[in-house]
Amino acid sequence: MIRPYLRRAKALKNIMLDLHNRGLGTCPLNWPADRTKNEKLISLLSLPKTDLIIMMIGVGQLPEEFHVAASPRREIGDRLIEFPA
């Protein structure tokens, strides 16, 4: 059952890259729904009943400038513990 998800995830990755190439920002949105919720959304969107929704993508215009949050990385010595032999 994992293969349908992997194939769709690869396709969605390419869609997101293409949208970025066109100047649009994207945000992958998790779809942790059970079968009932999945069937309701498929019906609402008039999709074929054989379709499988694995995620949604938020799409929008990017601002000219924006801040990207970044966490400073620690030195390896701060995390590495050496035990005597």
Run of H or E residues at 37: helix 35-44
Calculate ∠ Cα 27-28-29, nearest 5°.
110
pLDDT of amino acid 66: 82
Mean pLDDT across 40-65: 91
Q: Which of 1, 61, 76 is nearest to 25 (CA)?
A: 61
Q: Which pLDDT value is given to residue 46?
A: 96
What is the predicted pLDDT for the residue at 1? 63
Model confidence at 23, in pLDDT bands (50, 70, 90)? very high
Amino acid at 54: I
Q: How confident is the model at residue 26 (pLDDT cuts 50, 70, 90)?
A: very high
The whole-number pLDDT of residue 25 equals 94
Phi first, then psi, for residue 50 (nearest 5°) are -85, -10
